[in-house]
Amino acid sequence: MAYTPQDYKSELKPIWCPGCGDYGVVQAIYRALATIGRPPHEIAFVSGIGCSSRIPGYTTAYGFNSVHGRALPIAQGIKIARPELLVLVAGGDGDGFSIGGGHVAHAIRRNVDLTYIVMDNQVYGLTKGQLSPTSPRGFRTVSSPEGSLEDPVNPLMYVLGYGGRFVAQGTPADLSGLTQLVVEGLRYPGFAFINVQSPCVTYGSPDAQLKAHKSSMKNLASLGHDEGNRLRAMELAAEYGRSLYTGIFYRDPEPPPAYEALVAERRRALTDPGASRERVLEKFALR
């Protein structure tokens, strides 16, 4: 049976501000899911807290809108428990690189087959406009009225630096490009990271809106970038905040088995068909 984007659109009406970049992201997700074609009940979609983290509610799937910064551990538990599911994770820049930053490194090195989409708007939307870990130095917000004194986290370098094997960036300003990135991420057999420059129209910087993206974005493929070259990917990723590159920075040409595949292998090797749970206690008998 073929699925249409409409099949993944839930009954809930988004509460996002008109013009919010996240509308484009959810559209790209609907389209990508239709391309992949898995039935909604075989999809788990996990998020943290933030405007962006509302997104599983707008998607027809088994959704989990959890707590701030903790989507990745929950998603890994789901995928390990039921490897047959398609598992997506999404959230904001604060969710992923501030409060939840510690989990990202471990999701990368564990390499559970998840597709992690960060809606990077360089600001805290839900809590009404404070600094985010990706806000540029000097950025003025309600929590930094005189301008921020910190350098931003570079999400692309962060993930590449920890050994990420699929790293991409997109923007809803190029919806078909973004859709294709989500499709590629979902197809990648391991941890895939997609940073989406998803503008916050209400609190975001005027230089980070869709219109600006349209004129400044540069597609990596059309620049002739070789997505199997990790070092070159890092050079390009270092331009985060200065140039808006879209496309795949790096995709491991020879992906190793994902974590849950290794778990399944170990389970197969160690599961003892004769083992009875009732008899576990007998281990303690003195013989």
Partner 1 sequence: MTTDLVIGMAGAGGDGVIAAGEALMTAAARSGYRAMMTKSYGPQIRGGESSFHLRIATGEIFNAGTMLDIAVALNWDDFLRFGAELPVGGRTTVVHDGAEGAALPLEGVSPADAVAAPIAEMARTSAGTEKAKNTVVLGLLAGWLGLSADSLLAGVRKRFARKSPEVLAGNERAFAAGLAFAQAHPLRTDRRLCETAPPPSPRWLVDGNEMCAAAALVAGCEFFGGYPITPSSEIMHFLGREIWRHGGTVLQAEDEIAGIGAVIGASFAGRKAMTATSGPGMSLKSEMLGLATIAEVPLVCVNVQRGGPSTGLPTKSEQSDLFQAAFSAHGDAVRPVLAPISVADTCRITIEAFNIAEQFQTPVILLSDADIAQRKEVIDPIDPRAFTIVDRRLPNERELEHYARFQITESGVSPISYPGLEGGNFLASGIEHNERGAPTASGEVHAQMNEKRIRKLAPLKARRDLFSIEGDRDAPIGLVSWGSVAGVASEATAVARREGIQMKLLVPRLLYPISEEVYEDFFASVRAGLVIEQSHQGQLFRIIRMFVDVPRGLESLARSGSNPITVHDVLDRVRQMVVAFQRQRVPQEEPTLG
> If we measure between CA atoms, which residue out of 160, 123, 159, 121 comes closest to residue 142?
123
> If we measure between CA atoms, which residue out of 275, 207, 193, 281 comes closest to residue 244?
207
93 lies in the site for ligand TPP, by CB under 6 A: yes
Please give the residues from 48 up to 87 whose contact with partner 1 meets the rule CB under 8 A: 49, 54, 56-57, 60-67, 70, 72-82, 84-85
Residue 184 contact among ligand TPP, ligand SF4, partner 1, none, beta carbon within 5 to 8 Å by kind: none
Tokens 């496309």 correspond to 247
Closer to ligand SF4 by Cβ: residue 10 or 35 = 10
Residue 201 contact among ligand SF4, ligand TPP, Mg ion, none, beta carbon within 5 to 8 Å by kind: ligand SF4
> If we measure between CA atoms, which residue out of 86, 114, 112, 91 comes closest to residue 3?
86
Please give the residues from 5 up to 24 whose contact with partner 1 meets the rule CB under 8 A: 10, 12
Closer to ligand TPP by Cβ: residue 66 or 246 = 66
Cβ atoms of residues 2 and 36 within 8 Å: no
Residue 127 contact among ligand TPP, Mg ion, partner 1, none, beta carbon within 5 to 8 Å by kind: ligand TPP
Cα distances from 219 to residues 22, 76, 164, 170, in angstroms, run: 21, 31, 20, 9
- Beta bridge mates, 111: none
> If we measure between CA atoms, which residue out of 53, 41, 28 comes closest to residue 1?
41
CB of 120 to Mg ion, least distance (A): 7
98 lies in the site for partner 1, by CB under 8 A: no
Cβ atoms of residues 248 and 223 within 8 Å: no
CB of 94 to ligand SF4, least distance (A): 11
Closer to Mg ion by Cβ: residue 60 or 132 = 132
Q: Which residues bind ligand TPP (CB under 6 A)?
A: 49-52, 68, 91-95, 119, 121, 123-127, 132
